[in-house]
Amino acid sequence: MKWIVLMIVMIAWNSFCRAGTTTVFPSPEYRAVMPGSFVLPEKVRCAELPEKAYWATYFREIFLKEVGAEFKKTNRTGVDFRFVRDTSLEAEGYCLRVRPEGIVVTAGGEPGFFYALQTLRQLAEKEEGRGVWECCEIRDAPRYRWRSFMLDSGRQYQQVATIKKYLDMMAALKMNYFHWHLTDGKGWRVEIRKYPRLTQVGAFVSQGPEQQGFYTQEQIREIVQYAASRYITIVPEIDMPGHSEAALIAYPHLECFGQVPELPERGFTHHIMCAGKAATLVFLKDVLEEVCRLFPSPYIHLGGDEAPKKNWDSCADCQAQIRQYKLQNSHDLQLWFSAQMASYLKSKGRKAVFWGDVVYQKGYPLPENVVVHWWNWRGHRDLALRSALRQGHEVICGTNYYTYLNFPLTPWNEYGKDRTFDIRDSYENNPSMNRDTSALVLGMSCALWADGGVREDMIDRRLFPRILAIAEQMWHRGDYLAFEQFYGKVKEWKCWFERLGYTFGPGLRSEVPEDYKWD
Ligand code: ACM
Ligand code: ZN
């Protein structure tokens, strides 16, 4: 008899409690579904919420509207939503308990409450326009502390509303750093008051579609605030000494020979900022001074990628600098130059992020506030990762294969077959995955470069659905579903993201119609 009762209990438990189902993107660590549901009343009773916390404002002003209800403060104990701080949880971690009488959200810190609300948004069903949730228990926390998305606003200019659209996407996918590539050969996009020609001239050097424009300091402050209210830190990138033709066209005295460079047709040219002239360092420190005032981020990205040394090798000033500091060659000069800029940021209490190029060869020592952004898997495999860890630097993993989401699935424009990949590649073969065995690995990034003229209306179809695979890798702590199962969930969830205004492109190469237009 005892056995029969036990069997009945086990069968009942299995049919009601489906632990670990993936119905949220990215998947929570643990989820168990229970019988019953919670139906949101029109006026949501809730104890007073903290006045200044962004998540509380988000709950009252955005979340409740989305699920068809209004906020009503109550001092009574019978409430629909209860928010409880539990400092034993991580700051970004949270637990959810949905019962027929209400929802209890427990979180370690403010971001945890915000991420719990993102999860609830995705789980909400609607009855007569009002939110309904299946009863469940969820425990969740991120795998990586750094989960970033990079947008290239240097080569292409995107409107403020578009930047906000992708900050909203990041919030829904629980990403926490927006790496904003603000300068490149084809455009300088951030207003610097001390050097007005950077935007008067540098923001308009390129004539292609959507390649003119810049962000005023007022707009930047607005965007920084918009991001902060979604627990996203904006990490601005001022690329130096290369990828700087737009700045050099505005201020040619910073080029080794004072030449006004041509615009890069593809990628970059050998016209880079002269590291031998005191004026260059003064200029860049002034720029960073304003950048630090605009962006409160603890991290400032200084680029450092793809800086050909043709000019430095023959520039009298650069060569004199090499002799003065007993450097080995022009690469070593870049390390010396990078160290000066990183030290300047250190004096402002910030860390300097550089692309992995700065650790390809040994040389002048970089200060300890340098973080290395590993990217060039195609060219150098894991060289930058290994060198950075050996030198004791923190690392962000953002390998071009398979996190550069501007690469299309099939050839387009300057992207040949070897620069294509699909969601299966991202999900199964991303070299940035499983690199967190060292405490120095901060996390993972993904990027949308604008090479080849990726205009605003092309961005969604590059990002979706592949960014869902990357978000899963950044956040999810538990076991990973087999690709077919994961992709099945992606397809089920397409309409949720479409409702928010994101358009999906094809996910698999085999799904791309022969005449598909990426532009
Ligand atoms: C890069 O892709 N040049 C960082
Ligand atoms: Zn020079």
Ordered per-residue pLDDT tens for the chain, 519 residues: 555 554 544 444 333 333 334 479 999 999 999 999 999 998 999 988 998 999 999 999 999 999 999 888 877 667 899 999 999 999 999 999 999 999 999 999 999 999 999 999 999 998 888 999 999 999 999 999 999 999 999 999 999 999 999 999 999 999 999 999 999 999 999 999 999 999 999 999 999 999 999 999 999 999 999 999 999 999 999 999 999 999 999 999 999 999 999 999 889 999 999 999 999 999 999 999 999 999 999 999 999 999 999 999 999 999 999 999 999 999 999 999 999 999 999 999 999 999 999 999 999 999 999 999 999 999 999 999 999 999 999 999 999 999 999 999 999 999 999 999 999 999 999 999 999 899 999 999 999 999 999 999 999 999 999 999 999 999 999 899 999 999 999 999 999 999 999 999 999 999 999 999 999
CA 233–ligand 2 middle distance (angstroms):
35
355 lines ligand 1 (CB under 6 A): yes
CA 126–ligand 2 middle distance (angstroms):
63
Q: How far apart are CA 446 and CA 181, in angstroms?
A: 12
Q: What 8-state DSSP symbol labels residue 215?
A: B
Tell the residue nearest (CA) to atom 3 of ligand 1. Answer: 305
Q: Indicate which ligand has the atom closest to the C-alpha of 255.
A: 2
Q: Which of 398, 387, 396 is nearest to 365 (CA)?
A: 387
H or E segment and range at residue 122: helix 110-123
Ligand 1, atom nearest to 404 Cα: 2
Rg of the Cα atoms in the chain: 25
380: tokens are: 């150098």
Contacts of 77 (CB under 8 A, 6+ apart): none
Alpha helices in 301-410 (DSSP H): 310-314, 316-324, 330-347, 377-380, 383-390, 400-403
Q: Which of 399, 445, 402 is nearest to 176 (CA)?
A: 445
Tell the residue nearest (CA) to atom 2 of ligand 1. Answer: 375
Q: What 8-state DSSP symbol labels residue 223?
A: H
204 lines ligand 1 (CB under 6 A): no
CB hemisphere CA count around 154 (13 angstroms): 29
pLDDT score recorded for residue 2: 53
Ligand 1, atom nearest to 303 Cα: 4
119: tokens are: 């999860």
Out of 150, 239, 375, give the residue to mutate to test ligand 1, the one with the largest number of ligand atoms within 8 Å of its CB: 375
Work out the number of other CB atoms within 10 angstroms of the CB of residue 448: 23
118, 302, 321, 352, 503 from 366: Cα distances, Å:
39, 13, 17, 10, 43
241: tokens are: 């000494």
Residues 287, 202 contacting (CB under 8 angstroms): no
